[in-house]
């Protein structure tokens, strides 16, 4: 297995040990981010706490996100230290013009809408409802959509943490085993982490787009700016009264027209990711590592639980 940056080969044993450490930290992160909110909510309901009502939701949300932010930063600070990931490798000043920002925002938003459309076509006949890509850990985002604290966290805090964790530390670390492996693995983990079947496809596509953007600029900052914009657009759409839904369809239509024009005239920068001979082997090696497999099973279990509880 080759280390593309240093031109060295990494033995299977070394890769397994590194993947096992990565999996352990992922398990801790998952337990905090995906299980803690549900357990906290359930505990407040059982004890009859006033915080379980609508008046207490901002407090509960604040507690969750405080723990989420602190745990994510601490866990992935440890992850970076253990695996030798340097922050300057993915947080660099980049020449990201407004024109590039506009083009990339249009293309990425269009890709996400395509993912939502495909997900709806497949899952709606099975009884699932449409969903946009909500913040990680929020099983029922509609509870908080119009809370001022939620708006701030959705638009500002969540994109920062997610870009740092997934397109920063994880992509930088796993990309050592091949950029294609890094992109696919991060996208799968990001999609599973949302613990919502309707969000799997759009979340996967969103992560692939942001990973390519990070590789192009060697920085998470361009992707962060677009992530904030995409979250703001999706959240803003929920404030529109139902009778104005035609505005959303009109905007989506304009996005598709602009995307087609951009693709036809090639007004975008391409990212070339070289082929990887050992891609299938490396993916199997990673996802069959016991700690990584446990992390995936925990995410899938939470996905099933969320479906059964909130359908």
The pLDDT of residue 107 is 93
Mean pLDDT (10-residue bins), the chain, 311 residues: 57 89 92 79 75 67 78 89 89 87 93 90 76 64 65 86 94 93 96 88 95 94 94 82 79 90 80 85 94 94 77 58
Q: How far is CA 73 from CA 67, 135, 159, 161, 248, in A?
A: 10, 16, 13, 8, 35
Calculated CA dihedral for residues 159, 162, 168, 172, nearest 10 degrees? -150
Judged by DSSP in three states, 196 sits in coil
Counting every residue written for the chain, the total comes to: 311
Dihedral sign for Cα atoms in the order 289, 292, 294, 299: negative
CA torsion through residues 173, 179, 183, 185, sign: negative
pLDDT at 294: 96
161: nearest Cα among 89, 68, 86: 68
Q: How crowded is the C-beta side of 183, counted as CA atoms within 13 Å?
A: 21
Residue range(s) defining the domain that contains residue 32: 2-310
pTM of the shown model: 0.89
Half-sphere exposure of 233 (CA within 13 A, CB side): 20
> What is the rounded distance in angstroms from the CA atom of residue 203 to the CA atom of residue 167?
13
Q: Which of 138, 131, 132 is nearest to 34 (CA)?
A: 138
Give the pLDDT confidence score for residue 141 in this predicted structure.
Answer: 47
pLDDT value of position 5: 47
Give the burial class of 130: count Cβ atoms within 10 A of its Cβ; 0-12 exposed, 13-18 middle, 19 or more buried.
Answer: exposed
Number of domains in the chain: 1
Runs of H (alpha helix) within 168-287: 171-174, 179-193, 197-217, 221-237, 245-265, 279-287
Residues 6+ apart with CB under 8 A from 307: 128, 197
Report the pLDDT value the prediction gives residue 127, as an integer from 0 to 100: 72
pLDDT computed for residue 53 by the predictor: 62
282, 178 contact by CB (below 8 A)? yes
């Amino acid at each position: 297995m080759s280390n593309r940056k240093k031109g060295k080969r990494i033995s299977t044993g070394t890769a397994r040990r590194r993947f096992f450490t990565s999996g352990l930290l992922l398990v801790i992160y998952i337990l905090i981010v995906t299980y803690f909110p549900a357990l906290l909510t359930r505990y407040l309901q059982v004890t009859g706490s006033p915080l379980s009502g609508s008046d207490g939701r901002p407090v509960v949300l604040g507690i969750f996100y405080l723990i989420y932010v602190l745990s994510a930063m601490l866990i992935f600070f440890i992850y970076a230290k253990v695996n030798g990931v340097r922050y300057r490798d993915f947080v660099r000043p980049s020449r990201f013009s407004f024109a590039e920002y506009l083009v990339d925002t249009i293309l990425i938003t269009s890709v996400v809408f395509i993912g939502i459309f495909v997900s709806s076509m497949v899952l709606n006949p099975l009884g699932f409802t449409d969903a946009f890509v909500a913040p990680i850990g929020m099983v029922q985002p509609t509870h908080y959509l119009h809370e001022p604290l939620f708006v701030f966290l959705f638009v500002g805090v969540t994109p920062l943490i997610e870009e740092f964790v997934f397109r920063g530390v994880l992509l930088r670390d796993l990309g050592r085993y091949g950029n294609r492996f890094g992109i696919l693995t991060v996208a799968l983990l990001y999609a599973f982490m949302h613990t919502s079947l309707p969000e799997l496809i759009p979340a996967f596509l969103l992560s692939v787009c942001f990973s390519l953007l990070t590789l192009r600029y060697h920085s998470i900052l361009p992707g962060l700016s677009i992530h904030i914009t995409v979250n703001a657009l999706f959240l803003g759409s929920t404030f529109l009264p139902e009778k104005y839904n035609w505005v959303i369809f009109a905007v989506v239509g304009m996005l598709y027209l602009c995307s087609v024009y951009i693709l036809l005239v090639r007004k975008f920068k391409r990212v070339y990711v070289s082929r990887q001979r050992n891609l299938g082997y490396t993916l199997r090696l990673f996802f069959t590592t016991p700690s990584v497999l446990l992390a995936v099973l925990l995410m899938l279990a939470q996905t099933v639980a969320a479906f059964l509880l909130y359908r």
